[in-house]
Amino acid sequence: MKKIITIVGARPQFVKAATLSRQFQIAGIDEKIIHTGQHFDANMSEVFFREMEIPKPAYQLDIHGVSHGAMTGRMLEGIEKILLNEKPDGVLVYGDTNSTLAGALAAAKLHIPVVHVEAGLRSFNMAMPEEINRILTDRISTALFCPTDTAIRNLKNEGFDNMPVQIFKNGDVMQDAAMYYAGKAQLKSDILQKTRLRKFILATIHRQENTDNPDNLKNIIAGLTEINKEIPVVVPMHPRTRNILAQTYKLPDFTIIEPVGYFDMIMLLKSCDMVITDSGGVQKEAYFFGKHCITLREQTEWTELVENGFNILTGSDTQKLKAAFETFKTKTSDFSIDLYGNGKAAEKAVEEIRKL
């Protein structure tokens, strides 16, 4: 491929795009980025492009704050217009967001090859919008780049061996990013000095199944409040979730801070004692930086983390959350096990993309 359009719209995609964009430049592939605007807050969008030296998006669609259907439809319309004008050799999408599905659909309907990075992941929970997005994106893609053997197995179980698609295991590009940017974060981030954090637990809550479900959110807040009595809990929180809390509950005892950029997040991950999250990407980032993770979900795409004892799934159950905390307080684990490659995932992907 000589010219590729990359679609991004949410924080994890900015991190992944940084790794491949760097390799595209080395390989001499012309890449143009479309930013759908799915994450519109400056702290969750612009800061990533600035900090991680990702090429400035050629197109900004500024689509956010509407329902799943409206968002995906408007993205599909906007991306289609750009693809008709640009006539790329391929379209690259990451992960499982509405931006991912819209980009893949727009390209597939125009018969432009679709490259899906982080393919084959399954939570087997069709109530998750992300599960629908990733299944449909895989099905209409031309090339699927899988981070793990489990992802490849999922595709084979779904009959992808009999479909006109190429499947590659390249590793996890988020590990590339973690390894590459860890040193830069040490120099550029002052989050620890500003917050004066020492011993603490890092927590994130953003999935709608938790933030928009009053019972789930109440149980999670109760669990974090109990844990905070023993070890301070710090939560970088999206304004939307903060507003929900302010309207529904009294302010919790644990510490809420503004959303943070990638370098600040790396420093929080490196310095914390433990991670509690409902994010897919943060589960892996916890592992990359040698931290046990409690996942506020009933399923995870990253089953190898659970199987190897690095991760415990608790859903929104307060008692399970507290029990997992007690388990990890004294547990030691060997984080040197290689689950996601050796930091060469983006390089391997671009080598194959050049041949397509």
Q: Please identify which of the residues 35, 39, 116, 206 carries the catalytic annotation.
A: 206
> Could you please report the per-residue DSSP string of 30-84?
EEEEEE--SS-SGGGTHHHHHHHTPPPPSEE----SS-HHHHHHHHHHHHHHHHH
Active-site residue, 206 included: yes
Provide the pLDDT confidence category of residue 208 given band limits of 50, 70 and 90.
confident
**Residues 116-128: pLDDT tens digits?**
999 999 999 998 8
Tell how far CA 309 is from the center of its chain: 21
Angle, helices 280-288/173-188, rounded to nearest 10 degrees? 70
Task: Quote the CATH superfamily of domain 181-330.
Answer: Glycogen Phosphorylase B; (3.40.50.2000)
The confidence score (pLDDT) of residue 286 equals 98
Select from 205, 192, 179 the least CA-distant residue to 294: 205
State the pTM of this model.
0.88
Provide the pLDDT confidence category of residue 11 given band limits of 50, 70 and 90.
confident
The confidence score (pLDDT) of residue 54 equals 84
The answer on pLDDT for 224 being more than 70 is: yes
Return the domain boundaries, the chain: 3-172+341-355, 181-330
The phi, psi pair for 117, rounded to 5°, reads: -95, 135
| Domain covering 3-172+341-355, topology | Rossmann fold (3.40.50)
Q: Taking phi first (over 0 means left), then psi (-120 to 50 degrees means alpha), and beta for anything else, what does residue 257 get?
A: beta
Cα gap 112→114, rounded to integer Å: 6
The confidence score (pLDDT) of residue 40 equals 67
User: At 68, which amino acid appears?
Assistant: H
SS3 208: helix
Tell me if 3-172+341-355 shares its fold with 181-330.
yes
The answer on pLDDT for 138 being more than 80 is: yes
Select from 36, 70, 23 the least CA-distant residue to 343: 23
Which helix (H) or strand (E) segment holds residue 94: the answer is strand 90-94
**Residues 264-283: pLDDT tens digits?**
999 999 999 999 999 989 99
Contacts of 105 (CB under 8 A, 6+ apart): 76, 136, 140
**Residues 302-331: pLDDT tens digits?**
999 999 999 999 999 999 999 999 999 999
Residue 261 to residues 11, 54, 185, 337, Cα–Cα distance (Å): 9, 14, 10, 28
The confidence score (pLDDT) of residue 217 equals 93
- Provide the β-strand partners of residue 258: none
The confidence score (pLDDT) of residue 44 equals 56
